[in-house]
């Protein structure tokens, strides 16, 4: 099918049209997830697949809207509290001897998990050592992350998650207001500036672009992103993470994500963490 033709087509053919008319390539995304999101775009705009194709070819602003819909990820502060509790108690303290700690949060979405990690570093007295590169394909998500103002969080349990992570560790009296300004009337929370200043937000396409910075990193966070990719693309992305990590660096994936095949020999599983299999060296 020619790229200027939008006759009867399949979803995969539409993805090829999108690839040719934008900087984005979704051809190696998981079929189920990508098709559901395309269907939602069609429902929201009351378009057939052929009409969606025509609008994609002729309207670059609409293309960005489609990309936002395809890449949207749900996230929240301290999502899966057991993972954060493990990080706080057993994993992050390993880095106390480092003079600096580099973190790449790939697919950071609207930023709640970036701030969750910084709070853990802060409570361990390591905040001044941390440099965070937070990346996402969505400019809209990054703009929200930079502002650090979130709605409808209070009733969804983020305070409960926060308390679960820090209970019984000398921080049981830790106040949520240490890190957030809480507006209960309007159901909003705002991240304190001293956390936001530790982060460099960068727009980045994890599928098509190399690492957007030159630093190797100690920790890669990429939770609930790989699940949307097929196995081929997952392995390509994990290879990039592996190459970007320092020896014995750490990879943190989502609860329903894991490593397979070759990469099982290149990482050692430690609880919810994957450690790059090498001898640990402190850097000065």
The three state secondary structure string of 48-68 is CHHHHHHHHHHCHHHHHHHHH
Res 173: pLDDT: 63
Q: Are residues 102 and 160 in the same domain?
A: yes
CA separation for the pair 123, 162 (Å, rounded):
12
Q: Answer yes or no: do 185 and 206 share one domain.
A: yes
- My answer on whether 126 and 247 are in the same domain is yes
The pTM of the full predicted model, rounded to 2 decimals, is 0.86
In Å, how far are 15, 93, 112, 120, 207 from 89, measured between CA atoms? 44, 7, 20, 9, 33
Q: What is the pLDDT of residue 8?
A: 53
User: Tens digit of pLDDT per residue, the chain (284 long)?
Assistant: 444 567 657 888 888 888 888 888 888 888 787 888 889 989 999 988 888 888 888 888 888 888 888 887 778 899 899 999 999 999 999 999 999 999 999 999 999 999 999 999 999 999 999 999 999 999 999 999 999 999 877 766 788 899 889 987 665 567 888 999 989 888 899 999 999 999 999 999 998 888 878 889 999 999 989 888 888 899 999 999 999 999 889 999 988 888 877 888 899 999 899 999 864 444 43
Helix 112-123 to helix 158-166 angle (10° resolution) is 30
Claim to verify: residue 139 and residue 236 sit in the same structural domain? yes
Confirm whether 44 is domain-assigned. yes
C-alpha angle 128-115-145 in degrees, rounded to nearest 5? 120
* Kind and range of the H or E run holding 82: helix 81-86
Nearest to 77 by CA among 183, 150, 166: 150
d(CA 278, CA 193): 36
For the chain, counts of helices (H) and of strands (E): 10, 10
pLDDT at 71: 80
The number of domains in the chain is 2
Q: Which domain holds residue 42?
A: 11-71
Say yes or no: 109 and 63 in one domain: no
pLDDT of residue 23: 83
Residue ending a domain, among 71, 89, 106, is 71
CATH number at residue 238: 3.40.50.150
d(CA 46, CA 139): 25
Q: Does residue 162 lie within any of the structural domains? A: yes
Q: Has residue 2 been placed in a domain?
A: no
């Amino acid at each position: 099918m020619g790229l200027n033709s939008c006759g009867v087509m399949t979803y995969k053919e539409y993805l090829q049209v999108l690839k040719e008319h934008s900087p984005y390539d979704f051809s190696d995304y998981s079929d189920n997830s990508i098709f559901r999101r395309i269907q939602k775009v069609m429902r929201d705009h009351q378009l057939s697949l052929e009409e969606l194709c025509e609008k994609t070819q002729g309207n670059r602003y609409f293309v960005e809207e489609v990309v936002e819909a395809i890449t949207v990820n749900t996230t929240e502060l301290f999502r899966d509290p057991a993972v954060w509790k493990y990080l706080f108690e057993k994993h992050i303290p390993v880095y106390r001897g480092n003079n600096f700690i580099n973190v790449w949060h790939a697919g950071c979405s609207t930023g709640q998990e970036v701030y969750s990690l910084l709070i853990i570093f802060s409570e361990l007295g390591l905040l001044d050592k941390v440099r965070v590169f937070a990346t996402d394909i969505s400019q809209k998500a990054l703009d929200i992350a930079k502002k650090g103002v979130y709605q409808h969080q209070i009733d969804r349990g983020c305070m409960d998650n926060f308390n679960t992570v820090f209970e019984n560790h000398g921080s049981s009296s830790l106040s949520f207001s240490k890190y957030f300004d809480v507006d209960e009337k309007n159901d909003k929370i705002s991240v304190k500036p001293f956390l936001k200043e530790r982060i460099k937000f960068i727009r980045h396409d994890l599928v098509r672009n190399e690492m957007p910075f030159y630093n190797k990193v100690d920790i890669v966070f990429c939770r609930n992103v790989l699940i949307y990719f097929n196995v081929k693309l997952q392995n390509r992305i994990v290879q990039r993470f592996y190459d970007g990590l320092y020896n014995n660096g750490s990879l943190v994936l989502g609860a329903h994500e894991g490593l397979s095949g070759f990469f099982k020999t290149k990482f050692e599983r430690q609880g919810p963490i994957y450690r790059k299999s090498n001898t640990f060296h402190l850097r000065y």
